[in-house]
Structure 1
Amino acid sequence: MKRHPDSEALGTLLRHVLELLDGDVAKVYQEQGLPEYRPRFSPIIRALVAEGPMSIRDLAEAVGVTHSAASQTATQMARAGFASHSTDPGDNRRRLITLTPKAQALLPTITAEWDATSDAMAELDAEVSMPLAGLLTEVAEAVHRRPFQERISAAYERQATSGGSS
């Protein structure tokens, strides 16, 4: 019998689900002859296809990740030959991330995988009680409204004043 993470250990469960999904997407890229391609590259590539060369700050904002995460991903993409860094002609202090010819040539394969993943996600969503993307969006919005740290601190205070755990 396959064991699943404790449903009370939410961080572990989220990481487990992400590992399952990303791991299988990575296997598809491997099957397509792209072993160096990572699922985390896709949002960056999509943004660069839509907007053209972008700074790390603009990429981070476009895909909804931290500056550090966007920078790390862009560096990994450059090492794998999918992106290049260049100086912004309008501002020498800024670096622009651009898709390489290798990435441009692979766009049909990458796009086909995006489409297949979207179809597979729709199939998975039909099997569960609520579409995963919708639920995760709701959770992110709720945590932006009231950070989780604030919620934990309030719960901790309630426990302390009630004399024990709930």
Structure 2
Amino acid sequence: MEPREVLGTRLRLLLDLLDDGVTALYPQLGLDGFRPRYAPVLRQLALEGPSSIRDLARAIGVTHSAASQTVAQLAREELVGLSPGADARQRIVHLTPKAEALLPAMDQERLATDAAVAELEAELPYPLTRLVDEALEALRRRPMRERTGAAARRR
């Protein structure tokens, strides 16, 4: 396998293992059917109150498309409501009472996950969170498309 395939495959496996471990905790906390991608949106809304999808995306560090897809899933689960924004293109997202009732369980999950991450990082020679932050910053400075384009031109 080429390094790109190995890296991408291994990163997806790492993310799957992390998400699966957290997801396994959800039923114990009364969060049946909850998905890891819901948590950042719901936490942000709990922290800052109603928000546009664009502002949510910016705050949690995902694309507008990813935030919009997650909000649509949350709306289907009746965890968020949507109302018109200042203009016709904007929708404002807010927590529903159903979501607000889940916040204490989400706090328990967050504490358990933070403790598990600290334990994992203690086993590693370099903190994973720091490495991910540094990789993201390097890709913000010079995106992968520029790196691959330059590499292709050198060949």
- TM-score w.r.t. length of structure 2: 0.92
Match of 2:82 in 1: 85
> How far apart in 2 are the matches of 1:131 and 1:99?
34
Task: Supply the distance in 2 between the matched residues of 1:45 and 1:95 (Cα, whole angstroms).
Answer: 16
Q: CA RMSD in A?
A: 1.6
Which of 98, 113, 119 is the aligned partner of 1:117? 113
Q: Are the equivalent residues in 2 in contact too, given 1:41–1:77 (CA < 8 A)? A: yes
Offset, 1:27 = 1.2
- Give the secondary structure class of the aligned counterpart of 2:69: helix
- SS of residue paired to 2:17: helix
| Contact 2:52–2:93 (CA under 8 A) maintained in structure 1 | yes
Paired with 1:58 and 1:148, the residues of 2 have a C-alpha distance of 25
Structure 1 residue 58 corresponds to structure 2 residue 16: no
Residue 33 (1) aligns with residue 20 (2): no
Q: Which runs of 5+ in 2 are unaligned?
A: none
* Structure 1 residue ranges without an equivalent (≥5): 1-5, 161-166
Kindly indicate whether the alpha-carbon contact (under 8 Å) linking 2:79 and 2:95 is maintained by their aligned counterparts in 1.
yes
Q: Do the aligned residues in 1 keep the contact of 2:52 with 2:92 (CA within 8 Å)?
A: yes
Residues paired across the two proteins, number:
153
Instruction: Verify: 1:140 aligned to 2:136, yes or no.
Output: yes
Separation in structure 1 between the aligned mates of residue 107 and residue 127 of structure 2, nearest angstrom: 22
With CA pairs under 8 Å and 6+ residues apart, which has the higher RCO, 1 or 2?
2
Deviation >3 Å, runs of 4+: 90-93
Larger Rg: 1
Percent identity of equivalent pairs:
51
Structure 2 residue 21 is the aligned partner of structure 1 residue 15: no
Tell me which amino acid in the other structure corresponds to 2:117: M
Distance 1:143 1:62 in 2: 19
**Which position in structure 2 is the counterpart of 1:164?**
none
Please tell me whether the aligned partners of residues 79 and 99 of structure 2 are also in contact (alpha carbons under 8 angstroms).
yes
Cα deviation, residue 106, structure 1: 1.2
The equivalent of 1:69 in structure 2 is 66
